[in-house]
Structure 1
Amino acid sequence: MAKLTVIIPYYQKEAGILRRALASVFAQSFQDFHVLVVDDESPYPIDEELEPLAAGERARITVIRQSNLGPGGARNTGLDHVPEDTEFVALLDSDDVWSVDHLKNAYDSLCRFGADCYFASITGGDAFYYHFSVASLEGRGTAVRLQDEPLVVELPDLTDVMLENWSFLHLSCMVIGRSLFETIRFDAALRLAAEDVLFFCDCILSARRVILCDAVGAERGEGINIFHSIDNDSPEFLQQQFNTYVALETLEGRFTRRPQAIASIRSYQHTARRQALWSQARRLKQRKSPQFQLLARWVLRDPRLLQSALSLAVSKLSRSR
C-alpha cells in the first residue's frame, strides 16, 4: 500500500471541479499515495467526474458513498477508512488544487524532522486576501528556522499564534501522521463553521512535533465549494455564526489556564455575536422576520448575546441622533 493517503470530501454542483483537484494530485512529484474520495451525497454525480480519468488513475482512487454529513463528517469517514500501513494523511478540499511539490515537501520535512503535523502556505485570489504565508511568522521572536529551502519553521507557541489569527492555516495544506489521524476527528455537527479550527487545535495540542513550510501547498478555490457558499444575507448565516460560537466555546475549554488564549477566543466570540446581530438587523430592514428560534437557543447558551444586542441598539440610536 501507499505511504500516504489523500482524503477528498466531495460535494459539488458544477462539472470539472473534482477532476481539477485530482489532476493536481496525480501531477505530484511524490507519487507514493492512494486517494480516498468521500461522496457526501453530492448534487453533481461523482461518476461523471471520474469517468474521463485514465484507467491507472482511476485504479488509485477509492470512492466511499454516504448520506450527507457535511464537510467534517465526510472527512471523518475518510479518516475512518485509512489503510493500516499508511504513514501520513493529506487533506484536500475538492475545489482546491495542490502545487506540484506539496506532497514531496510534506513527506520529506515530516521524516527529516520527526514531525507528525505539517502545514504549508496557502494562496488564493482576491476573495481570500486575508490569508498570509508561513514566512510572515518569522517576524515573531519565537520562530525557529529549521531549513532554508524550502523554508521550514517551528513555533513553540503555535497555539497562541493560531488563536490570534489562523489565516495562515488551511486543511488543503495539512498533512498528519498516524498518531493524529487514528485518534482525532472533526466535530461534524459544526457545519459551515469552525470545525477546521477545532481540528487544527486538537492536532497541534496532540502532535509530537508541528512544522510549517513556506512553500505554497495549495491554491484555494474561488468559493466554488458549496461548503463555503454562505453569504451574510443567507438564511443559513445565523446558523453558521452560532456554530462558530459553539466551536469557540469548545476551544475555550481547551485553554482554561491560558489567559492570552482565552482573550483571543473571547474576541472571536464577540465578533460572532455582532455578525449574527447585524444579519438579523438586515433582515428587519428587508422586512423579514428575525430568526427567533435560533436566537433563543443562542441566548440560552450565551446570555451575552442580549448584552451585545442592547449595545448595538444603543450605538445605532446614538448615530441616528
Structure 2
Amino acid sequence: MPRFSLIVPCFKVQGFLRECLDSVLGQSFGDFELIAVDDRSPDGCCAILDEYAERDPRVKVLHLPENVGLGRARNAGLPHATGDYLFFLDSDDTLTPGALRAVADRLAEADDPDVLVFDYARTYWWGGTRRNVLAPVLAEAPAVFAVSEYPQILDLLMVVWNKVYRRAFVTENGFEFPPGYYEDTPWTFPVMLSARRIAALDRICLNYRQRRQGNILSTTSRKHFDIHDQYERVFAFVAERPELAQWRPYLHRKMGEHCLDILAKPDRLPPADRAEFFRRTAEMFRRYRPAGAPVDGEVAVLEGSWTGYRLKRQAARAGREAARRADRVRQVAAGRARAGWAAVHARRPLDENLVVYSASSHRGLLGDPAAVHAAAREIAPQLRGVWVVRDAETAAQLPPDVEHVILGSRRYLEVTARAKFFVNDVNWPGSLVKRPGSVHIHTHQGTPLKYVGADLLDKPGARLGFDVPQMLRRADRWDYSLVANHHSELVWERAYPCHFTSVRTGSPRNDVLVNGGPGDFRERHGIPADHTVVLYAPTRRDYRRGGHVDRIDLARFAADLGEGHTLVVRLHPSLATGPARGMGLAELARRRIVVDATDEPRTADVLRAADALVTDYSSVMFDYAVLDRPIVVHADDWPAYRASRGTYLDITAEPPGHVSCSYRELAGLFASGAWRDGESARLRADFRARFCTYDDGRAAERVVRTLLLSEPAPGPRPVRIPGQAAAPDALTSA
C-alpha cells in the first residue's frame, strides 16, 4: 500500500501536463501511485498519459468515455486509490522539489491526522512567483487541532489541492465531489468541519499556475450560478449534523461574501444576468440566516434590493475616485510644504556636529554605518548621530537611546538639510540635495565579486529594473569611498566614474571579527557548545526571476554532516520576505533540522558563531575570511551565474578554500575532512592576503578620526598583493 495516491484529472492541458507529471515522478519520496484521469480530453493528453504509464509503473491511466467535469473526474479516480492519503493535484499545477517528503515527514510527526494543510505559491505566466499571503496561518497553527480549536485555518483558500486527506477518513464519511463549477466548496467545508485531527505544514509544496487566460472560474458564463447549488449542499450537510450547528453563522456569512465576490467581478456574469444572480443570492442569504445572527459589513447589502446594491456600488466607486483626487491634491500640497520646509532649513548654517546615518535602504542600525556610529559615540560624543529609517515599525526596533527620523518626514527634511556628514552603504534618495560643505561618506556593502554600477550596462538581465544613469547621478554626491582592499579600490573607481576619494580604511563592520568579543548566537538558538557549526549563505541569481534557486537539499546536507554538527542557513536579504523560505527552510527550522539565521540583524554575530562557511558567490566570503576559518565555495552553476551577472574575478580559480561543483563533491569535502585540510588553509591564506588587506580592527575608528574629526590617524599596514607592487602606505587615493 503506497503512502500517497495522487489523483490528477486531465482536460485540455497538453501544454502543461508533462511538467505536472514530471514534478511528481521526480520527487525524492517515491512511495506513491499516480492515478491520471483522462476526462475525454480532445487534445493530446490521452497520448501523453499513456506514454508516461508505459514508462513508469506508478502511473495508472483511466480513460473516461465522456467528459464529466473536474469533480466527477476526481471521483472516478477514488475507487482505484490504494494509498494511505489522497492528494488531488490539478494537471496544470506542479509539486515543488521535496514536497512529498516534507508532507510524509509532517504526517508521521503528527501521527497521521485526518487532513494536512500545506502552503502554495502562485506562479504567473510572465514568470513571477508570489507566496500565499496567509502563510502565517500555517506557521502559527497548533501541532494538531480541530477547526473549533483553530478556526483561522478556514481563512485559507478553500480549495481541494492544498491538502492531503487520510483515505480511510474520506471513505468513512462518504465524501465525494458534486458536479458543477464550484465543486471544491461542498468538499472542503464538510471535510474541514468533520476532521477531528488537522495538521499544518508551513512549506510551499505546490505551484499554483496562474494562466494568462485565467482558469474556468474566470470565464463569463451563467455557470457561475452553480455557486448557489454548491452552498445548498454545504448547508444540507450541516443540517444533518447537529454537532456542526455552531458553524451555521460562519457559513452563512461566507456564502454571502463568496457570491458578492463573484458579482463584483465584471468578467464573471453576463450583464443581463447580474440582477438575477443578486436576487437569488439575497433570497438564499435570508433563507439560511441563523436566528439572531448579526448582518453587518459587506454582506448587509444582501438584506436590500438589486437597485440598492447598484447604487451603493456606484456611490463607492464615486467615493473612491473622489478620495483619489483629494489624495492627489494633498500629495501636491504636502510636496510643496516639504520643499518649502527643506528650503528654510537649507538657508541655515550646516551643523558641524550633525551626522546622518542610514543602512540597507533605511532598514535600521546595520552594517558599516552602524559600526561607524558606535565608534563615533565612543570617540567623539560631541557628534550627534541621527538615523534615517523607512517607517515606524523599523524605528521601534532601534535601541531607545538612538535618535532617528522617518524617511520623508518634516524632521527628516530638517536634519538632512542641516547635517555636515552623511554615512550610508547605499545611495541616498535622489530628492536629497547635497549642500556645499557637506561630506558624504559611502561605505559600500562589502568587497565586490559581481558586477556593480556602470559595469552593469553590459548586463541587461542583471540590471533589470535598475537605472544605472540615475544611480551614477546619486553617486556623484560621494566625497569618500571606503575600501577594504586594493581590489575594491580598483572596482569602485571603475564602476562608479565619479569625483570621490578612495579611503583605505578597511571595513568598519569587520572590526568585531578582528577584535573578537562575546557572542550569544549559539546560546540563543540552542546550539550545543561542542557542535561544529556550518553556515550556508547563498546569494541571489540574476538569471531567475525572483532571484531564488535551490542549489542544495538542506535536509540532506544537514543529515550528511552527521552528529555533532549544526547547519545554519542565512539567505540573501532580498530573499527574506519572498517564497524562498517557504520552499522548505521555515519547516526545517521549525523541526530543528537547521537553524534559520536569515532574520539575524547583525551578520557578524552569525559569522563569529560559524566554524566553517559554505557559500556560492556571496560577498560574505570576504568578511568571513577575516576570521581565518575554512570556506567552501559551492559553484555548481558558476558558468550561468558569471554569464548572467558578470564577475570581477574567477572565484573557482582563485578561491578562499575548496570548490565543489556538485552536491556529491560538497558532501565529500565534509565527509573526508578535506574542508579544513592544509590545502584549504593555503588557499585561504592567499585569499586573505588579497582581500583582507586593510581589516586590522580599527576601520571604524579610522573613519571617525580622519573623516569626521579631521584628525591624523595611522593607516592600516598594507599587505603585499602577489604580482603587484606593494600598495603605498597612505590612507587616501584620489
Q: TM-score, normalised by structure 2?
A: 0.35
Give matches, 1:18-33, under 5 Å.
Answer: 18-33=17-32
Asked if the contact 1:154/1:212 (under 8 Å) is kept, the reply is no
Asked if the contact 1:7/1:37 (under 8 Å) is kept, the reply is yes
Q: Which residue of the partner structure matches residue 107 of structure 1?
A: 104
| Root-mean-square deviation over aligned CA pairs | 3.8
For residues 210 and 80 of structure 1, the distance between their equivalents in structure 2, rounded to whole angstroms, comes to 24
1:221, distance to aligned residue in structure 2 (A)? 1.4
Give matches, 1:61-76, under 5 Å.
Answer: 61-66=59-64, 67-76=66-75
Deviates more, 1:268-277 or 1:36-45: 268-277
Instruction: Tell me, yes or no, if structure 1 residue 201 matches structure 2 residue 189.
Output: yes
Q: Which residue of the partner structure matches residue 148 of structure 2?
A: 157
Q: Extract unaligned runs of 5+ from structure 2.
A: 288-301, 319-734
Aligned AA (2:133):
F
Q: Which residue of the partner structure matches residue 149 of structure 1?
A: none
Greater gyration radius: 2
Instruction: Tell me, yes or no, if structure 1 residue 176 matches structure 2 residue 165.
Output: yes
Q: TM-score, normalised by structure 1?
A: 0.74
Deviates more, 1:264-273 or 1:25-34: 264-273
1:156, distance to aligned residue in structure 2 (A)? 5.6
For residues 223 and 102 of structure 1, the distance between their equivalents in structure 2, rounded to whole angstroms, comes to 22
Aligned AA (2:14):
A
Instruction: Tell me, yes or no, if structure 1 residue 166 matches structure 2 residue 153.
Output: no
Q: Which residue of the partner structure matches residue 200 of structure 2?
A: 212
1:303, distance to aligned residue in structure 2 (A)? 5.8
For residues 208 and 289 of structure 1, the distance between their equivalents in structure 2, rounded to whole angstroms, comes to 44
Deviations 1:260-294 (A, max 9, x none): x444323333234434555689978xxx6437887
For residues 200 and 102 of structure 2, the distance between their equivalents in structure 1, rounded to whole angstroms, comes to 11
Cα 1:277–1:204 shift into 2, 3 Å: closer
Instruction: Tell me, yes or no, if structure 1 residue 132 matches structure 2 residue 133.
Output: yes
* Greater RCO, CA 8 A, separation 6+: 1
Q: Which residue of the partner structure matches residue 268 of structure 1?
A: 254
For residues 103 and 20 of structure 1, the distance between their equivalents in structure 2, rounded to whole angstroms, comes to 16
Deviations 1:213-268 (A, max 9, x none): 11111111123798x3232x60236424434543554476467632xx44432333
Aligned AA (2:44):
P
Asked if the contact 1:7/1:90 (under 8 Å) is kept, the reply is yes
Cα 1:192–1:113 shift into 2, 3 Å: same
What SS class does the counterpart of residue 110 from structure 1 fall into?
A: helix
Give matches, 1:210-249, under 5 Å.
Answer: 210-223=198-211, 228-231=215-218, 234-236=220-222, 238-243=224-229, 245-246=231-232, 249=235
Asked if the contact 1:21/1:94 (under 8 Å) is kept, the reply is yes
Aligned length: 296
For residues 216 and 60 of structure 1, the distance between their equivalents in structure 2, rounded to whole angstroms, comes to 24
Asked if the contact 1:242/1:272 (under 8 Å) is kept, the reply is no
Q: Which residue of the partner structure matches residue 38 of structure 1?
A: 37
1:111, distance to aligned residue in structure 2 (A)? 2.6
Asked if the contact 2:134/2:156 (under 8 Å) is kept, the reply is no
What SS class does the counterpart of residue 205 from structure 2 fall into?
A: strand
Identity of aligned residues (%): 21
Cα 1:162–1:43 shift into 2, 3 Å: farther
Asked if the contact 2:36/2:49 (under 8 Å) is kept, the reply is no
1:161, distance to aligned residue in structure 2 (A)? 2.0
Cα 1:308–1:42 shift into 2, 3 Å: farther
Aligned AA (2:210):
E
What SS class does the counterpart of residue 9 from structure 1 fall into?
A: strand
For residues 69 and 199 of structure 2, the distance between their equivalents in structure 1, rounded to whole angstroms, comes to 29
Cα 1:242–1:225 shift into 2, 3 Å: farther
For residues 277 and 136 of structure 2, the distance between their equivalents in structure 1, rounded to whole angstroms, comes to 41
Give matches, 1:291-310, under 5 Å.
Answer: 301=284, 307-310=304-307
Asked if the contact 2:120/2:208 (under 8 Å) is kept, the reply is yes
Cα 1:16–1:314 shift into 2, 3 Å: closer
1:71, distance to aligned residue in structure 2 (A)? 1.6
Q: Which residue of the partner structure matches residue 312 of structure 2?
A: 315
Q: Which residue of the partner structure matches residue 86 of structure 2?
A: 89
What SS class does the counterpart of residue 43 from structure 1 fall into?
A: coil
For residues 37 and 185 of structure 1, the distance between their equivalents in structure 2, rounded to whole angstroms, comes to 20
Q: Extract unaligned runs of 5+ from structure 1.
A: 147-152
1:103, distance to aligned residue in structure 2 (A)? 1.6
**Pairing partner for 2:120 from 122, 125, 130:** 122
For residues 126 and 280 of structure 1, the distance between their equivalents in structure 2, rounded to whole angstroms, comes to 22
What SS class does the counterpart of residue 14 from structure 2 fall into?
A: coil
